[in-house]
A and B are shown apart, each in its own frame.
Chain A
Amino acid sequence: DAGVTQSPTHLIKTRGQHVTLRCSPISGHKSVSWYQQVLGQGPQFIFQYYEKEERGRGNFPDRFSARQFPNYSSELNVNALLLGDSALYLCASRAGTALYEQYFGPGTRLTVT
């Protein structure tokens, strides 16, 4: 079975632009979470979606938004990009609630210039 997939792998954007990152969970997984990992730090929680509803939000500005589609794939959108948004964006899926094992994708490396 395929694991969590993310696209694109790498992305370079300019300050002020908008970006959309995509994630496909493991088949059968209904929960998707997004994390931002700045170089040299641990991942920071951005959003969790379960059954297409937002179930959790981390301490990120409103420039960050996400949604989950009927097939449980997910998009993370970031508007008005700042240099500080440069990071590895990780998507993780799990079968159900938070106590289920979480599987991570390889991430999307976003560079903002």
Chain B
Amino acid sequence: AQSVTQLGSHVSVSEGALVLLRCNYSSSVPPYLFWYVQYPNQGLQLLLKYTTGATLVKGINGFEAEFKKSETSFHLTKPSAHMSDAAEYFCAVIPNNNDMRFGAGTRLTVKP
């Protein structure tokens, strides 16, 4: 079954540093990939998505992700971390037309 793996349950960066959150998927066909962010006691908010077309996807809040088929990866990056970026981040894939499968999540901490 198609799934996603997020490497690193916790990532800590300093304010202004590069943010890199890793996501790998297992699939025999090009998947539809998503990154969501979840702030404490809130639902999930879509950061960006890849369906077809350009492999470098830009999202909200300065985040972007690159779909690399050869590496089956969809890593999330942001050039400069802000304190407000501290949250839980989830990578997700749609293996069929009905459901969405999420990774276990990566908690991002931003140090002043």
Asked if B25 is at the interface (CB within 8 A of a chain A CB), the reply is no
Whether B51 and A106, one on each chain, are in contact in the complex, defined by CB atoms closer than 8 angstroms, is no
Whether A42 and B98, one on each chain, are in contact in the complex, defined by CB atoms closer than 8 angstroms, is no
**What CA separation (Å) do A65 and B100 show in the bound complex?**
18
Whether B32 and A102, one on each chain, are in contact in the complex, defined by CB atoms closer than 8 angstroms, is no
The answer to whether residues A104 and B44 also contact, given A42-B90, A48-B98 and a CB cut-off of 8 A, is yes
Asked if A107 is at the interface (CB within 8 A of a chain B CB), the reply is yes
What chain B residues lie within 8 Å of A55 (beta carbons)? Answer: 97-98
Asked if B78 is at the interface (CB within 8 A of a chain A CB), the reply is no
Residue of A nearest to B94 (CB): A98
Residue of B nearest to A44 (CB): B102
Whether B43 and A105, one on each chain, are in contact in the complex, defined by CB atoms closer than 8 angstroms, is yes
Residue of A nearest to B52 (CB): A99
**What CA separation (Å) do A44 and B102 show in the bound complex?**
7
A interface residue numbers (CB < 8 A to B): 4, 33, 35, 40-45, 48, 55-56, 58, 90, 92, 97-99, 101-107
Please give 18 more A-B residue pairs, beta carbons under 8 A apart, in addition to A48-B99, A55-B98. Answer: A35-B102, A41-B104, A41-B105, A42-B90, A42-B105, A43-B100, A43-B102, A45-B99, A45-B100, A56-B96, A56-B97, A98-B99, A99-B94, A104-B43, A104-B44, A105-B43, A106-B43, A107-B42
